[in-house]
């Protein structure tokens, strides 16, 4: 290219081209100037950043270790200790610690430990082990409210309470609501993301109102439409049961078809505040 050319490339930015050599300027600073400042800042702060990162990682790994050893002690009679020698188990442990070091509590490390322990139990079937492997990969990709959504899904779609009274169900729902963050604010973008990482599939249907499974077992309710169930709960002043009913419908539960890994995560989430026999429910869900 012959001669000098000047080209506007954006507000406050100019690119000068002279005889084929390009130099970028931004508010009077060249690329070399910016690069030099970044390098100086990095050199000045990297030792401290590295030390802080090391301290954070050590703290996070310490929390995982304490959680894991606590569960190992709690379930020592159910665990096959020989499985620790298996390459797959060692790989899972490595992935868990990596996720915890990177994301801390956002890795859902408590649930990761629960899934890992489940995989070590003597009575764990081959299918449950495969699902647990999927759940260990899925959990670090989910936020806390994503996990709560899966727990809500399992609560209203998978839980049955044979012989329960309305009063019992009301208390049951009250306990559930105490242990989750309200509202379970799941957007369409959240649902699309969760479907993409394998928590569930999106159903090929628009949302329709649904009735929690544990309510369908009651004689007074099982023949009612969702609209009439809402009225019934309002008339009976079953505030917690009504809140769960509304929450499940506001969250568009029927638009999702949960995966096996998503189901496992949902059950483990519920087991934090309900007495759940995970080995049994995961084999029968």
DSSP state string for 131-153: HHHHHHHHGGGS-HHHHHHHHHH
Those residues whose C-beta lies under 8 Å from the C-beta of residue 191, and which sit 6 or more positions away, are 202, 252, 255, 256
In percent, the amount of the chain with pLDDT more than 90 equals 38
H or E stretch at 24: strand 21-26
Those residues whose C-beta lies under 8 Å from the C-beta of residue 72, and which sit 6 or more positions away, are 79, 117
The per-residue pLDDT for range 166-223, each reduced to its tens digit, is: 999 999 999 999 998 866 778 889 999 999 999 999 987 777 889 999 999 898 998 8
The per-residue pLDDT for range 45-93, each reduced to its tens digit, is: 556 555 665 566 567 667 777 777 888 888 888 888 888 788 888 888 8
Can you tell me the distance from the alpha carbon of 105 to that of 101, in angstroms, rounded to the nearest whole number? 9
Res 123: pLDDT: 82
Q: CA 130 → CA 4, 92, 242, distances in Å?
A: 65, 12, 37
The whole-chain average pLDDT of the chain stands at: 80
* Two structure tokens written together for 42: 């990095």
Backbone CA torsion sign across 170, 172, 178, 180: negative
Helix 87-103 / helix 126-138 crossing angle, nearest 10 deg: 20
Q: Which residue has the higher pLDDT, 122 or 84?
A: 122
Say whether pLDDT at 4 is over 70: no
Q: DSSP assignment, residue 15?
A: E
Give the position of tokens 């298996």: 86
Model confidence, pTM: 0.76
CA angle 96, 100, 102 (to 5 degrees): 120
Q: Please tell me the least confidently modeled range out of 22-36, 54-68, 136-150, 158-172.
A: 22-36
Q: DSSP assignment, residue 122?
A: T
Say whether pLDDT at 102 is over 80: no
Reported confidence tier of residue 99, pLDDT bands at 50, 70, 90: confident
Res 89: pLDDT: 82
Q: How many residues belong to the chain?
A: 285
Reported confidence tier of residue 109, pLDDT bands at 50, 70, 90: confident
Res 47: pLDDT: 60
Say whether pLDDT at 7 is over 60: no
């Amino acid at each position: 290219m012959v001669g000098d050319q000047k080209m506007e490339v954006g507000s406050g930015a100019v690119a000068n081209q002279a005889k084929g050599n390009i130099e970028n300027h931004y508010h009077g600073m060249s690329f070399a100037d910016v690069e030099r400042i970044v390098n100086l800042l990095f050199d000045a702060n990297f030792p401290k950043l590295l030390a802080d990162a090391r301290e954070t990682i050590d703290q996070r790994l310490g929390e995982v270790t304490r959680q894991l050893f606590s569960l190992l002690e709690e379930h020592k009679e159910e665990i096959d200790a020989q499985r620790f020698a298996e390459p797959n188990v060692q790989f899972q442990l490595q992935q868990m610690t990596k996720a915890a070091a990177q994301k801390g509590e956002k890795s859902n490390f408590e649930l990761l430990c629960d899934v890992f322990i489940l995989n070590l139990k003597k009575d764990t079937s081959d299918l449950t082990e495969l699902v647990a492997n999927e759940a260990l990969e899925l959990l670090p990709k989910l936020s806390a409210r994503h996990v709560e959504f899966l727990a809500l899904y399992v609560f209203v779609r998978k839980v049955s309470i044979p012989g329960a009274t309305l009063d019992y169900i009301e208390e049951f729902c009250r306990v559930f609501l105490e242990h989750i963050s309200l509202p379970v604010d799941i957007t369409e973008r959240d649902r699309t993301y969760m479907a993409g990482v394998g928590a569930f599939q999106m159903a090929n249907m628009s949302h329709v109102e649904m009735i929690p499974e544990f309510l369908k077992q009651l004689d007074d309710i099982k023949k009612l439409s969702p609209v009439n169930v809402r009225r019934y709960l309002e008339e009976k002043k079953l505030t917690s049961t009504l809140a769960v009913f509304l929450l499940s419908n506001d969250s568009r539960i029927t638009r999702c078809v949960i995966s096996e890994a998503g189901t496992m995560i949902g059950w483990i989430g519920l087991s934090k505040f309900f007495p759940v026999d995970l080995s049994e429910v995961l084999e029968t869900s």
